[in-house]
Structure 1
């Protein structure tokens, strides 16, 4: 037990540990906190309702509170590490990450996710965090790494998608001034169809590549509005890939809720 639920922090760790010989566990009413269980070596089997899942190395499961489950060793041995946590901001943050149900994850052996619980446990053993703030950071870090590196149902991880799209991001950073640049050009640059590109981009970043390009142009325009006080709105529109000042002002107002001139004055 590391942190009491009464502490007013966004995330708290209830308990964290390593179990070299994982015993059979049956919880008909589930567990009262969010529960992460991860295989270190060997293999386990976990049951949720009428479905079972194997947990070999580089696999883990995030169990929602009060979800009935049971798990046991599958084979000759099974060692695990675990983390149970909660807090007033856990549910909203998981919703933002798109994690809403108990889910089995896998990951590549060389990712940060492999060691994140071990590192958090080592930190807990050598520090006495009476405020709970370090533990709160540890939970946040774990959830971010789970979202970034974890894979579900054979789908690629967010990190692998981002790495695949990095050449396109560099291309857009160099070519955003071109007003004729569109989704078809972006798709050609990475040699996939526009539909596939839209799908990959949404999975990785939550929006389309054209929305990313528009956001990039607005950000570059804001930099110029602040640093080039003598430059006209028309000039900034031309330098950031907008066809004319009218399109620029309309897009800027929609994105920032004020006009470029109002932004510059502010």
Structure 2
């Protein structure tokens, strides 16, 4: 049995849009050497499957799933007793930031309790898409965001303890950056001094906890603050916002914002106007 629903193309103008939602009875091995063009979530409804991504192979029994980023090679296959799955594919310029903020990591098996609401969310989402004509993809986008929030709330990640421990070690610096991100003179030396460890140690802690460098974390923080100002401070110019969040010049801010989100600041502001 296979059920699936595609959303309309109009939804792809949203910060987060859904490509498709579905339920499938997996019968053969799937190999994607170039990955899938959208972010891909796959979870088990019945039976079990084997999933391979980033050089690791693991089982996906009932009450478990995995998230794969767009373009990441992967493969999966059903166990002999059969495998029924639910899946969600989605994209959008705001998705990378959302996943980073929610700490939803790629290629890490996620498990949850039998009574967690994750079990039926995709089926409910599919039912609504099959029943209602979602012309602009707004309902599907809202459902997908809600799913990601619930996944973060109820999902158990194999390395969650390490992530929590790492964030605790970095907490003094993270709090300091929240107060000083607008200072364009901040560099690795100041960050390491605030944390009280060598820069090499700080780099290791950041990569292990967040999967990115300390400076990349600072850039993400500045962009998040910029998004808040673009929405909240309607009279502020892009140049003023760039200065307020720590960018030395507006052109660098615009280029960085566009590279990270897929759209320029002014277009982002219009989306939320």
* Post-superposition CA distance 1:26-66 (Å, at most 9, x none): 00011010001111101000111432010000010101111
Q: Pick from 71, 75, 97: which aligns with 1:92?
A: 97
Correspondence 1:136 to 2:164: no
Compared with structure 1, are the counterparts of its residues 4 and 42 closer, same or farther at alpha carbon in structure 2 (3 Å cutoff)? same
C-alpha spacing 1:94/1:24, structure 2 compared with 1 (3 Å): same
* RMSD of aligned residue pairs (Cα, Å): 2.7
Residue 80 (str. 1) matches residue 85 (str. 2): yes
| Cα pair 1:5 1:12 within 8 Å, conserved | no
Structure 1 residues not aligned, in runs of 5+: 157-197, 212-266
**1-structure distance, mates of 2:46, 2:127:** 18
Q: Tell me what 1:68 maps to.
A: 73
Q: CA deviation at 1:92?
A: 1.0
Q: State the TM-score, normalized to the length of structure 2.
A: 0.56
**Aligned match of 2:55 in 50, 53, 68?**
50
TM-score by length of 1: 0.57
Q: Which runs of 5+ in 2 are unaligned?
A: 1-5, 176-273
Q: Which has the higher contact order (CA 8 A, sep 6+)?
A: 2
In 1, the alpha carbon distance for the partners of 2:165 and 2:55 equals 32
Q: Are 2:11 and 2:137, in contact at CA under 8 Å, matched by a contact in 1?
A: no
Q: 2:129 aligns with which of 108, 114, 124?
A: 124
SS in 2 for 1:77: strand
Q: Which residue, out of 151, 174, 179, partners 1:146?
A: 151
Q: Which runs of 4+ in 1 moved over 4 A?
A: 198-203
